[in-house]
Amino acid sequence: MKRNLIALFVATTAILLSSCGGENKQNQQVQESEMTKTVRPLNVKLQGDLADYFEIVDKDYKVTKEAGGFATVKFNIEIKRLDKALPLNAGEEIATYSSDNGLLLGYNVEIFDENGDFIKKIDEGHFKEDIAMLNPGETGFLKVESYVSVYFEGDEFEKFAKFRLTSTLKHNLVESSDTSSTDSETADADEDPSDDEFDKALDKAAKKMDKELDKAAKKMDKALDDAANALNDLW
């Protein structure tokens, strides 16, 4: 009799776990489906320092979003070089990485709903060669890929209908590797404040992930408790 009850408990637990697993798998399959949509520029004129030098090509842009709240959002923005010459200092070149000396062309991508209401910033960086080195009248593609800390809550992605590029110009001067430790400490103190924002966003993402794992653990505990109660009822 005792052996039969143990077998029944194992079978009941397996059924419950299978049921939970099947439900989770079904939900996961729904969440893993890639989402696509079409968006347009909020305006073709870049905001900020690069407004006189580049503009967005006015057309529809296809956006893809991978699975989950922290999923990567990707799309390519076509950028056109305008006629005005970039404000290079004598002997200065265009820098395409933050570690390079020269004129650094920075940007960030902000997204909006159909009414032009701000949703969030999803990407930032510096124009690379395919944009920074364009000649007047030429176009190139800026590959936008949301950074890992971006989390889309609720229907934020569904509301995403427009985007805007905000830009900066910086005459970048990188210290040589043989500088003193004092110079290094000073450079660290002058780091881009966006690093702090990234750390805060990453911390928020980690906390949210912990909450989701805690919910999953509680659901499993409840399934085991239900199985144990079912066994007690048999006694």
Local structure of residue 180 (DSSP, 8 states): -
pLDDT, averaged per 10 consecutive residues of the chain (235 residues), comes to 50 56 51 81 96 97 84 92 94 90 94 96 91 95 85 90 96 69 50 62 69 68 69 67
pLDDT in the model for residue 146? 86
Alpha helices in 128-193 (DSSP H): 129-132, 156-159, 181-189
Local structure of residue 105 (DSSP, 8 states): E
Local structure of residue 67 (DSSP, 8 states): S
- Inter-CA distances, 139 with 28, 40, 47, 230, Å: 40, 17, 18, 68
CA 104, CA 95: separation in Å to the nearest integer? 5
Domain ranges of the chain: 34-174, 177-213
What angle, 0 to 180 degrees and rounded to 10, lies between the N-to-C axes of helices 194-234 and 2-31?
A: 150
Is the Cβ–Cβ distance between 149 and 198 less than 8 Å?
yes
pLDDT in the model for residue 178? 53
Is the Cβ–Cβ distance between 229 and 13 less than 8 Å?
no
**For the domain 34-174, what is the CATH code?**
2.60.40
pLDDT in the model for residue 63? 94
Local structure of residue 114 (DSSP, 8 states): T
- Inter-CA distances, 69 with 34, 101, 152, 154, 205, Å: 12, 37, 5, 9, 10
